[in-house]
Every structure is written in C-alpha cells, then in structure tokens.
Amino acid sequence: MSYVWTQRQLEEYRRYYDNIRTHHSYSYVNFSTTAEFVRSVLPPCLDVPDQPKVTIGFLSFMEWIHGVSNRPGRDRAAIVGVNAMYNGVEGSYYLTVLETEEVNIVTGREFWGMPKKQGFIDYFEDGNGFHGFAGRKSHDLILLDAKLGEEQGGTEEAPEYYFDMRCGFEVNGRSIRNPELVIFKNSTQTNRFRPFVSADLALKGSPFDPGVGTVPVGEFLDGGHLGGETSYIVEQVVDLSKDGVDYAPYLMGRLYDDWPDVRR
C-alpha cells in the first residue's frame, strides 16, 4: 500500500536484520591515547581499559542476506572510535561515523543510536601504501597515510564487541527517555590481510565537527588492510533509565552538529 506497509512488509523488513552480513574492504589503525580523554567521552556505564586507544577505520562494503546482496552498489564509511569496557568485556565505542549511503545512515541512527553523518570518504592502496581521506561539509576531518607490509593471508572468524547508546527524544529535544546501551557481538572472517608497518594520521576538527580535532593521538600501535565478511548480532540491550545519569550530553554530542548560537 502507498505509504502504509502491510503486515507482510513489516515482517520481511524486521527479519532483514536477523541475518545480516557485510562483505567488505576494511583498513584501520590503532594509536595510543590518554585515559583522561577516553574517560571524558565515554558514558558512565562504560569503563576505561588499561591501555586506551583510538581507532580510525575506512570501510567499503555491501550488505548480504542469505548469500545475496540486498541492493546494487556499495557503501563507504569512516570511523573514529575508542576502546571501552563493559562488565569485563572490551569493545569499541564510536565517536564519529561518516557514511555515504542515506538509508544506512538513517537506520543506523534510528535503530541503534549510531553517530552516523553523511560525508565524503575515499581511499586507495597502490601496493606499497594506503591513503585515506574523509570529511563532510567541505572540511577534511581524517587524513591517513600508511605503509603496507607483506601479505599474510586470512584468519578464522573471530568475535569483537561494539557498544552504542540509543534513546527516545522528547519534542524539540528538551529531554531524552528510555536510554539504552546496545551491545553488538560481531564475528569477522578475514580472507586476506596486509599489516600496516607505519602510519601518519591527521585528525582535524571543523565548525560542525570540532570533536574530531580534540582526540589525542599518541604512538602508532598497529593496523592493517583487509578483505572479509562480518556478521552483526545484537547480544544485549541494557536499560540505563534507572541509574540516575543524564545521558543526553553523550548522545547529542555525537549525533548532532555543533551549531553556534546566533543569538549571542
């Protein structure tokens, strides 16, 4: 029906996320950062790991369901994240996610609270090095150059965790309701892998995304350029509404642009 889905359409769409898997090219670097910075950006429900790090990633992917791509074309994304702990489990917490595909941006924000914004992402590797560029609204935010090591082949599927927050908003964003911590347990199969042996990273803020330029970047830890597949499973959703914390600053500070108050 026009503008109103049937029950069958609803059920088919909801089942879509029960068995979703991406086929992708993914390149990442890990740098050390400060515990003080990680504590300042993590919500109180998450703890700072013993070895805090910032992760930068560039990703080009297609979503597959039951072995078939859900639509033609690919999406591209770039991420800035830190590591975090929840009940003794270490995972990633994204601060900025830039993406090119509108549908994935909308569903990521509305369903799981991911801090996705539309931007430009481009990268390439020439056999010796990797070069990545990402930004939005005519501002460069992430510039990465890395030297590639020797091909190391693939690996078996390995689990990794990712934390995000979601909530409902009152009219005009005056307050939030029902904050939740969403815990993903992702399983990645790496089909090919080349490590990065060195990397140069520049994170730049902009009038709209000033936070990117505030991330302390320490020494290069590791990284790589890989091709593989990942399954995404929501393992747990934690109710945060009764712990007495106002999570609005942690949600809105990642989801929305930093608009200047023109009334001042």
Residues 55/49, Cβ–Cβ less than 8 Å: no
Strand, coil or helix: 115:
coil
- Strands 89-99 and 116-118: what pairing? parallel
Domain-located, residue 260: no
Domain-located, residue 11: no
CATH number at residue 58: 2.40.400.10
pLDDT reported for residue 264: 65
Q: How many domains does the chain have?
A: 1
**What is the tens place of the pLDDT at every residue in 12-29?**
888 877 777 778 889 999
Which residue segment(s) compose the domain that 232 sits in? 20-255
Question: From CA 28, how far away is CA 115, in angstroms rounded?
Answer: 18
Domain-located, residue 7: no
Domain-located, residue 4: no
Domain-located, residue 224: yes
**What is the tens place of the pLDDT at every residue in 129-183?**
999 999 999 999 999 999 999 999 888 777 899 999 999 999 988 889 999 999 9
DSSP letters, 157-215, are EEEEEEEEEEEEE-GGGS-EEEEEEEEEEEEEEEEEEEEEEEEEEEE---SS-GGGGG-
Question: From CA 181, how far away is CA 167, in angstroms rounded?
Answer: 9
Domain-located, residue 3: no
Domain-located, residue 15: no
Domain-located, residue 263: no
pTM exceeding 0.95: no
